[in-house]
Structure formats: structure tokens, C-alpha cells
Amino acid sequence: MALNVEAGSWTGASFPVENFQAYTSPFGFRTSPTGGRGYEFHSGLDIAAPEGSYIRSWWGGSVVEVINDQGCGVGLVIESGDWEHIYCHLSGQVQTIQGRPTLIDRQGGLQVSEGQTIPSAARIGRVGMSGRTTGPHLHWGLRYGDRWVDPALVLRAMHRDR
């Protein structure tokens, strides 16, 4: 899959969250939302949804990383060709199962391991409050090669192709 914005090329893509409420923070430079000084680069798009709303894989691919850190919190990185899609601030915990980092969200009935293959639009997690966040939302990042891409551009192209 190339960075192709021709008509018809995005019909396999899924909007990444159920129960959409609002876009709460765009991609690009911004002042820190948690009180830090100066500007920071926001590498994704923040999409507010009620806590517990299901997150859906934007595209089919394989899970290359299950994240568990202070910034992203519980998160996933899925690789689809030259693209990577990143999901942060999920519900649940990360545990190692049979040597593989695994997102476990019992309430949501989900278990996602590194190396797992994911179809487009599959439920992969739920909106939570893990990591550095002031309210329940999905932080959704898109990388093409080693460049961050503004997810709003991709959503616009998806909408046009619908």
C-alpha cells in the first residue's frame, strides 16, 4: 500500500473508534495539554469517545508492538505494508504470555499479542485513561515509512472514497 490519495484507494480502511464524540486535539505543534512549558509535537490525532468504547483497526496488518509506558500508556502498533498505525491510552493491562507481550482487556473480552494478525475493522482495544491523558480518548498516530502523517488527511480521503 503506497501513500496514494487517488480516489478508491481507501475503501479498505476503517474509522478507528466506535461512539465518536469529537476531535479534541489535532496533529502538529501545540502547547502542552498537561501544563508543560512551550510547544510540543503532537504526532497523532486525539479522538474523544466514552471510556470503554471499542477501538477498531484502521487497516489489516500485524501487531508489531504492545506498548506499556508513561506517555502512551497501554497501546498497540500495527504494521500494514509501509504504514504503521498507533493506538494509545487503552483500557486493560499488558502481560507477557508465552513470551509475547499481550494486551489483556477482560471486561472488553479482548486479548491481543505481538505478532498477531489483525483484519481491517477488527476490535483491538477499548478507550481508556492509561498514560498521559486528561480524559478518555484515542490517540491515533499514522506513520508512513519513518514519517508521521496527519491522520485527518487520511480520514478526509477515506470519507471521499465512501
Q: Which residues bind Zn ion (CB under 5 A)?
A: 44, 46, 139
Minimum distance from residue 33 beta carbon to Zn ion (Å):
8
Strands 137-144, 22-25: pairing kind:
unpaired
Cβ-proximal residue to Zn ion, closest one: 139
Nearer to Zn ion, 65 or 161 (CB): 65
Nearer to Zn ion, 44 or 125 (CB): 44
Nearer to Zn ion, 44 or 60 (CB): 44
Minimum distance from residue 66 beta carbon to Zn ion (Å):
18
Nearer to Zn ion, 41 or 98 (CB): 41
Minimum distance from residue 108 beta carbon to Zn ion (Å):
21
Minimum distance from residue 63 beta carbon to Zn ion (Å):
20
Minimum distance from residue 41 beta carbon to Zn ion (Å):
11
Nearer to Zn ion, 46 or 105 (CB): 46
State the SS3 of the chain: CCCCCCCCCCCCCCCCECCCCEEEECCEEEECCCCCCCEEEECEEEEECCCCCEEECCCCEEEEEEEEECCCEEEEEEEECCEEEEEECECCEEEEECCEEEEEECCCCEEEECCCEECCCCEEEEECCCCCCCCCEEEEEEEECCEEECHHHHHHHHHHHC
